[in-house]
Amino acid sequence: MENKDIESTLNRPEGDRIIDAQQLLLDIGSFAKQLKSEKQWKKSDRNSITVFKSDKMRIVLTALRKKAEMYTQYPDNILSLHIIDGRIVLETLSKKIKIGSGQILALHEKIPYTIRAKEKTLVLLTIVE
């Protein structure tokens, strides 16, 4: 397998890094510090970084400020949300679920949802295609 990397961007000028390899150790603490030091975090209610991306799966670390919302209407992917720190409420058409630090929620595809941060929150999203 050939390593896949991602190039720097205007928002991440030092962003060159490998995002897919046979083995890839992810330092979530370092990524969290990076997210909270970037301009996007200072001017927005969220900031995200893709830490792994293959043809079948993505892992995205997202920092949310209190009251930040994320939603989708008809996702085509299975999703897991691992709350590293903080609290969110995930609302589907039939339920509201409170999720806190150390908890993981798995959600099947085709289920519309809204995520609301109840405080500053760090979420590790795993998206399976």
Does position 84 have pLDDT exceeding 80, yes or no? yes
What long-range pairs does 9-16 form, CB within 8 A, spacing at least 24?
A: 11/38, 11/39, 11/40, 12/38, 12/49
What whole-number distance in Å separates Cα of residue 84 and Cα of residue 126? 13
pLDDT (0 to 100) of residue 74: 83
CATH of the domain at 38: 2.60.120.10
pLDDT in tens, 20-29: 999 999 999 9
Section 103-113 average pLDDT? 96
Give me the percent of the chain exceeding a pLDDT of 70. 88
pLDDT (0 to 100) of residue 98: 98
Q: How many CA atoms lie within 13 A of 66 on its CB side?
A: 2
Does position 10 have pLDDT exceeding 70, yes or no? no
Section 39-46 average pLDDT? 95
DSSP 8-state assignment for residue 101: T
Does position 45 have pLDDT exceeding 70, yes or no? yes
Section 27-47 average pLDDT? 95
**What's the predicted TM-score (pTM) here?**
0.89
User: Residue 123's domain spans which residues?
Assistant: 4-128
Does position 37 have pLDDT exceeding 70, yes or no? yes
pLDDT (0 to 100) of residue 1: 66
| Number of domains present in the structure of the chain | 1
